[in-house]
Chain A
């Protein structure tokens, strides 16, 4: 299935630690147990980021969120209903 193929490709990409797909209400967990923590926190952050962008300019919308920390890079591709979260270790 195209979804699984693509997902597998992302998961096996160099440096990727985890991938999570979240929906607006609950979760579809696809990976390990730190998932839930990430999913919940990032969901909140994404909502906040989106509302910030929209407050500044109501015509605007959040298209991609990327958090670079010392150890990891967290990428969030948001949508109306879902979030695709990928955590990567960029130095690998």
Chain B
């Protein structure tokens, strides 16, 4: 039969080192007992009542493993305990010896300790340590040390922690490790020594240990019969070390006192095939009748659920008084089980909530503005800002995402027309990550300091061009490598496109490098052109088939491999396209001359970028456009002439993109493959850029886009980074006379061009 207890200090037989014997209990049960303090709660769920004990002692008890008689000096074994907890229980006696609510409380214990005790049945000496010894506890605590650090069974809701109250695991732990009271006798206090009555007394009357903030169990963790039960039936942790040589071994023969330290065995030996008590229903306070049902296992939730519930439940009982027990119970019932929690986490509303909430919180977290800042002692920090203001171009933000933009090239950039702080960047595929989606578009936010994208979108094929849909603020359009046009919506919770064009001959079958929304609020179309010269116009509501399509062929035969496209300001019919063969073409969408109209030859390599003049002002320069090409040059053209007006030859690498400033008529930016971002001001100098900056690391800069305000420039590079530069005021803000100056500049350029041609012609002749 059962549990051996700790190794004995000496070879004394078990009884003389005073374990809580049945006899003691018996005596206790028939004595009047101490007056109960009024604040002691009584629940039927956790405490060993006198009634239980009484019943146990007088009932046949569990079948004994061996043939040992059950005597009144027999020991309260784990088996007994277990059986007690799982058997129906005694009928309530009408004449209860103690009180009708009889619980074994610390007060009882205290009283017990100070009373002379029962007459011993035999000549057993009764030592002053005649109770559950420290050794027991110590052994228990150290071999099953994890008890203190494990969540334990769910606690009864009504356990208060008072100094007249209950013995918590923490108390015990603390007691074992604190100096303790001066010893009454010369008994040494060793770690294997006994918990003297004095110790216990001291514990009960001292304020108790300070509650550690990282309490292993909880501050309300009581050592209840339930705990013990749970303890006895759980496998227990692997032992950290074996205690002082002794091993605890479950030996059915009670006379052998060999104890093995194998807690597994301990657990196993004790496991009597009963399911763990996991769900405990805590009935309302009012019921004081001893009800065994609460201690029988009612359902089979997992142990981890217990732990969770307990963790959530534990802090509450400490604070709440008994009157609030009903509330507590309600709350406990609603504490979430693991399954419920997972379900909840996956529910629509939760995800929508979390999406919104986390976005706002991330922004708020990144704000470093200290509204309580004190300027009186901190002038130095301010001066830094001043220095920046005078600079020509300064890096404002760098956007990149470890997961989504690394190893990808930025293929397109677009600023949102509606929210000037939003910028969409599209990326091509990541060769190092074949399992990740090939096409990624990220929407970045300039306004807040958070470094993660506002929205992340993907699709199956690499995105070659992207734009905010001008009259639909929630939509982002992307043109992909496969020829599909995809539409993302930031209202949906999905990262994948909400609409896609079909992959068919009626749509595009070649990579779409240009997408643009043109028109007005009421009459607009999405225009897309792919590298096989096909131009389709779509309605954003229905991407299943193009509204209109047009083959861009030059001279009825040669299809134009379009790499870039631009619409002049205010024009929805005429546009310019640049092609791989180095020529720029003007074309019309509708009308008798629909298709390619004129060819502008001049570049010696594929045209990579085109931009039509868009800065509105007193003079109309919408006939001007600029083009960038692999031939290291940027050329300025006018639609009125098929020869370039001017060629900017300052670069030493492929020029990948170029764009007019939306506010300044003579300013444009271009980027090249050596990491340079140049700003040219035609009114200042046409030979060299007015401002130039080289990006750290010199990655090839693939795209450049002015913000609609004309104060910031975004560039995308081959490393997947999007950099936003602030342009100094004196450069980007046009003065009133810029337009007229540009007129003069153009006249000069024209004259030079004509002269140059004349000279060239003369040389040829000569």
Contacts and interface: CB of A to CB of B under 8 A. Distances in A.
Contacts of B349: 80-82
B361 A75 contact: yes
A36 B356 CA distance: 23
B356 A26 contact: no
Contacts of A81: 349, 353
A79 B358 contact: no
A64 to B, nearest CB: 6
Interface stretch (B253-261, B308-316, B739-747): B308-316
B345 A10 contact: no
Contacts of B371: 68
Nearest to B353: A79
B357 A27 contact: no
A86 B336 CA distance: 21
Contacts of B364: 64, 66, 75, 86
A15 B312 CA distance: 26
A57 interface: no
Given A29-B311, A77-B357, A86 B365 contact: yes
Contacts of A28: 336, 341, 344-345
Contacts of A59: none
Contacts of B312: 26-27, 29, 36
A10 B344 contact: no
A77 B25 CA distance: 57
Given A25-B334, A26-B334, A33 B315 contact: yes
Interface in B612-663: none
B354 A6 contact: yes
B211 to A, nearest CB: 11
Interface string B358-375: 101110111010111000
Contacts of A82: 349-350, 353-354, 357
A26 B335 contact: yes
Q: Is the interface of A mostly helix, strand, loop or mixed?
A: mixed
B452 A9 contact: yes
B357 to A, nearest CB: 4
A1 to B, nearest CB: 8
B214 interface: yes
B604 interface: no
Interface string B496-520: 0000000000000000000000000
A84 B358 contact: yes
Contacts of A68: 371-372
B361 A23 contact: no
Interface in B315-368: 315-316, 331, 334-336, 341, 344-345, 349-351, 353-354, 356-358, 360-362, 364-366, 368
A90 interface: yes
A16 B366 CA distance: 11
A13 interface: yes
Given A29-B311, A33-B315, A90-B370, A84 B354 contact: yes
B362 A9 contact: yes
Contacts of B214: 33
Interface residues of A, number: 35
Nearest to A84: B357
B603 to A, nearest CB: 46
A81 B353 CA distance: 9
Given A21-B354, A84-B357, A84-B358, A36 B365 contact: no
B46 to A, nearest CB: 21
Q: Is the interface of B mostly helix, strand, loop or mixed?
A: helix
A2 to B, nearest CB: 8
Interface in A1-31: 2-3, 6-7, 9-10, 13-16, 21, 23, 25-29
Contact of A6 (B215, B334, B350, B358): B358
Contacts of B372: 68
Nearest to A39: B312
Contacts of A66: 364
Nearest to A40: B316
A26 to B, nearest CB: 4
Contacts of B335: 26-27
A88 B370 CA distance: 13
B422 to A, nearest CB: 19
B150 to A, nearest CB: 15
A68 B364 CA distance: 12
A56 B357 CA distance: 24
Contacts of B341: 28
A13 B336 contact: no
Nearest to B495: A2
Contact of B331 (A14, A16, A26): A26
A31 to B, nearest CB: 11
A88 to B, nearest CB: 6
Contacts of B366: 13
A13 B331 CA distance: 32
A59 B519 CA distance: 37
Given A25-B334, A26-B335, A13 B357 contact: no
B104 to A, nearest CB: 30
Contacts of A23: 344
A77 B360 contact: yes
A16 B365 contact: yes
Given A26-B331, A27-B335, A36-B316, A84 B361 contact: yes
Interface string A53-79: 000000000011010100000010111
Specify which of A25, A37, A66 lies most central, judged by the most chain B CB atoms within 10 Å of its CB: A25
B336 to A, nearest CB: 6
Contact of A3 (B315, B354, B361): B354
Nearest to B340: A28
A6 B364 CA distance: 15
Contacts of B353: 79-82, 84
A85 B752 CA distance: 67
A6 B361 CA distance: 11
B715 to A, nearest CB: 26
Contacts of B345: 3, 28
Contacts of A79: 353, 356-357
B351 A3 contact: yes
A73 to B, nearest CB: 8
Interface in B367-389: 368, 370-372
Contacts of B315: 33, 36-37
B307 to A, nearest CB: 12
Contact of A7 (B336, B358, B452): B358
A27 B358 CA distance: 18
A88 B334 contact: no
A2 B356 CA distance: 13
B311 A10 contact: no
Nearest to B351: A3
A36 B318 CA distance: 12
Give 7 nearest A-B pairs by CB, closest first: A77-B357, A84-B357, A79-B353, A26-B334, A36-B315, A6-B358, A82-B353
Given A64-B360, A78-B357, 6 more contacts: A28-B344, A33-B214, A36-B315, A36-B316, A64-B364, A81-B353
Interface of B: 213-215, 311-312, 315-316, 331, 334-336, 341, 344-345, 349-351, 353-354, 356-358, 360-362, 364-366, 368, 370-372, 452
10 contacts: A6-B358, A10-B365, A23-B344, A26-B335, A33-B215, A64-B364, A77-B356, A77-B361, A80-B349, A80-B353
